[in-house]
Amino acid sequence: MTDLKGKRLLILGGSRISCEIVKKAQEMGIYTMVTDWYPLENSPAKQIADEYFMTSTSDIPEMVKLIKENNVDGVLTGFTDSVLPYYAQMCEEAGLPCYGTKNQFEVLTNKNEYKKMCRDFGVPVVEEYEISGNIESATLEHIKYPVLVKPSDNSGARGISICKNRAELINGYKIAMEFSQKKEVLIERYIKGEEVTIFYMLQDGEIYLSGMGNRHIKHNQENVIALPVAYTFTSAHVDRYVKYTDPKVKEMFKSLGMENGMVFMQCLVEDGECIIYDIGYRLTGTLEYKLIEETCDYNPLKMMITHAITGDQGEPLLKEKASPYWKKYACNVSFLGKPGVIKKIEGLDEVKKIPNVLDAVLAHEEGDEIPELAKGTLKQIMLRVFATAKTESELKKLLEEIYNTLDVRSLDGENMLLEGLDIAQLEEGVLV
């Protein structure tokens, strides 16, 4: 890859997960800057960056001024949909590279818009119910329960409800409206079953299917949607997806003029078909690039950092490297925490020392609180552990060891970890 030592990268947003961008850029010899309007104590990425600012990422004139006054060579954001249109606009006005356009980001962060696009290209999406007028007075007799109600323009599982009757639907609709900036709500058929996440890497207009993993969810809390407890690679559904759906998805992305960056798609599986329910045109909180680097010998995060500064992702052999059929089995284990204050996290260093564990990334540290309002959202994820294995049996043993090593306690000494993956699931032919 290109030597970027001494180049200056501005990272939008100082959340804990943005530390991943800061650390990788620093490894590459890049001078890092972070900006958002949060104070230093509430912005972990600022605390480890070489420099930080208090400018709001939505204030485009001030952001352009900041970029020019500080000789910024590139700008990058990562894990939040809401920042993407601002990111594109400031890069355009400042004359810096951006992997996507404002229009592309706006389409792919609005569930109504990208679902329509999917239908136009024959890409399977979850059916939805239309209503007109005020929800309390609307005709709802055509709706068959249960349904999933969610805002059309939010992420992180915020504002989502599973509704089993009219009263729950009305309440869920109101909740979704509160989380929707555009005041748009989707009512979808609720499909319960297997899930997969699909990854694409784009470079200079070429689109590569780069990964497909099982998204293992767990119904371990009442009255909220099930959250992911693990991802395992490669999913046994990949062959059918490659044959029937992948060509349509690539044509859809080309119709938007997408050139670079990465895309993830979350899908439900019904009768062997992958039905898309969410799309993201950005780095993902699952940090799967750690697994891709180990199994396929390229790193999407490094590519996107390189593109932010040079306009070129710097991976000339991507066509040979990118594949949904990884060289090793792999897993990304998500530990979910109950609401409460974290007093002690034990076993983290031991987990990192387990052979074939690549990394363990904390989303919450000792002293942090998981509020009651976080229930049913991805804010309940405390820790992600990344590992690979040569065989399926080795992967199962590795998962057991990871689960048996970590312990998290609340202020009153209670175990804060929710039940994780049932390793027996991996005996059901879910992996290639």
Q: What is the CATH number of the domain that holds 13?
A: 3.40.50.20
Same domain membership, residue 304 and residue 211 = yes
Same domain membership, residue 156 and residue 70 = no
Same domain membership, residue 279 and residue 421 = yes
Q: What is the CATH number of the domain that holds 406?
A: 3.30.470.20
Domain extent, residue 271, equals 195-427
The domain boundary residue, chosen from 98, 118, 141: 98
What confidence score (pLDDT) does residue 1 get?
61
Same domain membership, residue 223 and residue 354 = yes
Same domain membership, residue 364 and residue 241 = yes
The domain boundary residue, chosen from 189, 212, 231: 189
What confidence score (pLDDT) does residue 317 get?
97
C-alpha distances in angstroms, 183 versus 103, 161, 423? 19, 16, 40
Phi first, then psi, for residue 234 (nearest 5°) are -100, 145
Mapped onto helix, strand or coil, the DSSP state of residue 24 is: helix
Characterise 16 by phi-psi region: left (phi > 0), alpha (psi -120 to 50), beta (else).
Answer: alpha
Task: Find, among 126, 167, 163, 127, the residue nearest to 146 by Cα.
Answer: 163
Mapped onto helix, strand or coil, the DSSP state of residue 10 is: strand
Could you tell me if residue 243 is inside a domain?
yes
Could you tell me if residue 311 is inside a domain?
yes
Same domain membership, residue 202 and residue 309 = yes
Same domain membership, residue 374 and residue 227 = yes
Task: Find, among 158, 155, 153, 217, the residue nearest to 186 by Cα.
Answer: 153
Could you tell me if residue 34 is inside a domain?
yes
Same domain membership, residue 136 and residue 20 = no
Structure tokens at 18: 């943005």
What confidence score (pLDDT) does residue 156 get?
57
Same domain membership, residue 217 and residue 179 = no
What confidence score (pLDDT) does residue 180 get?
86
C-alpha distances in angstroms, 275 versus 39, 271, 293? 41, 10, 27
What confidence score (pLDDT) does residue 56 get?
96
Along the 432 residues of the chain, how does pLDDT read in single tens digits? 678 999 999 999 999 999 999 999 999 999 999 999 999 999 999 999 999 999 999 999 999 999 999 999 999 998 989 999 999 999 999 999 999 999 999 999 998 899 999 999 999 999 888 887 788 878 888 888 988 898 877 665 678 888 889 888 999 889 999 888 888 888 988 888 899 999 999 999 999 999 999 999 998 888 788 899 999 999 999 999 999 999 999 999 999 999 999 999 999 999 999 999 999 999 999 999 999 999 999 999 999 999 999 999 999 999 999 999 999 999 999 999 999 999 999 999 999 999 999 999 999 999 999 999 899 888 999 999 999 999 999 999 999 999 999 999 999 999 999 999 999 888 888 998
Position 192, amino acid: K
Same domain membership, residue 304 and residue 272 = yes
Same domain membership, residue 410 and residue 292 = yes
Could you tell me if residue 110 is inside a domain?
no
Could you tell me if residue 118 is inside a domain?
no
What confidence score (pLDDT) does residue 325 get?
98
Tally the domains of the chain.
3
Same domain membership, residue 170 and residue 221 = no
Phi first, then psi, for residue 232 (nearest 5°) are -125, 140
What confidence score (pLDDT) does residue 132 get?
78
Q: What is the DSSP letter of 419?
A: P
Q: What is the CATH number of the domain that holds 149?
A: 3.30.1490.20
Contact between residue 332 and residue 384 where contact means Cβ atoms under 8 Å apart = yes
The domain boundary residue, chosen from 189, 209, 225: 189
CB atoms within 10 A of CB 266: 17
Structure tokens at 366: 């000792």
Could you tell me if residue 122 is inside a domain?
no
What confidence score (pLDDT) does residue 155 get?
62
